[in-house]
Amino acid sequence: INNDIKDGFNFNKIKIENIPHPHMKYPGKRVHLVGYFGKTRFKVTIDLAFGDLIDPLNMSLPLTHGKKGALFESSISLSCYPIEFIFAEKLHAMVDRGRYNSRMKDFHDLYSMILQKGDQLSSNIGNIIKTVFNHRETEIKLPIIFSSQAIEDLQSFWNRYLQGLKKDHKMPINLKNIIQIINDWLSKNTKL
């Protein structure tokens, strides 16, 4: 990050470490930086994952304009991580970890994606799910079914997770309902 492109930003105190997820079978790095824009100091953390197969979505993002025009460029081009791959990776985490999944954010995110973006997900979602599962050498086991003891354990994690959410997050109290919504959506929208 010694590349001075004369944009007013400076970065130092760079620290790179392995992403601390022992359950992950693929590598990743976490980069910590201290940034400066003029006299304003801020911290930046970036998680980088390596080895996933994705088909990036190229987008143009317009930037803020002042009265005299753009502060920098008028727009920037980005290669974005498509929501279908995020969906497939979260589904993979849920299936792969099974009853031992303490990451309730995966359930939350899948539920939210279905409710908010379910009709916008590509008709190719089934193939994308297959690609992610095959690349991660995981069998696709659908519908998602847990034993009653596993549901009880997961519900306990879910209850604690809900306590940490802000009141404006309207999530179902019963995790079984979320799992059923995910299963129903997958059944209706894929041939898995």
Q: Which percentage of the chain shows pLDDT scores above 90?
A: 56
The Cα 101–Cα 157 span in angstroms is 9
Q: What is the mean pLDDT of the chain?
A: 89
Mean pLDDT of 64-68: 80
Q: With cut-offs at 50, 70 and 90, classify the pLDDT of residue 171.
A: very high
- pLDDT given for residue 3 in this prediction: 62
Q: Report the C-alpha gap between 32 and 55 in whole angstroms.
A: 27
What would the two tokens of residue 166 be? 């802000």
Res. 26: pLDDT tops 70: no
pTM, rounded to two decimals: 0.79
pLDDT tens track for 124-164:
999 999 999 999 899 998 999 999 999 999 999 999 999 99
- Tell me, what's the pLDDT at 2? 58
- C-alpha dihedral over 92, 22, 154, 129, to 10 degrees? 0
Res 169 pLDDT > 70: yes
Instruction: Look at residues 158, 80, 83 and name the one whose alpha carbon lies nearest to residue 114.
Output: 83
Indicate the domain borders of the chain. Answer: 9-51, 83-189
Q: Could you give the CA distance from residue 89 to residue 92 in angstroms, rounded to a whole number? A: 5
- The 3-state secondary structure of 131-154 reads HHHHHCCCCCCCCCCCCHHHHHHH
Per residue in 73-130, pLDDT (tens digit) is 888 898 888 999 999 999 999 999 999 988 899 999 999 999 999 888 888 999 999 9
Residue 34: Cβ within 10 Å count:
14
The predicted structure's pLDDT at residue 12: 86
Write down the residue that tokens 């604690």 correspond to.
Answer: 160
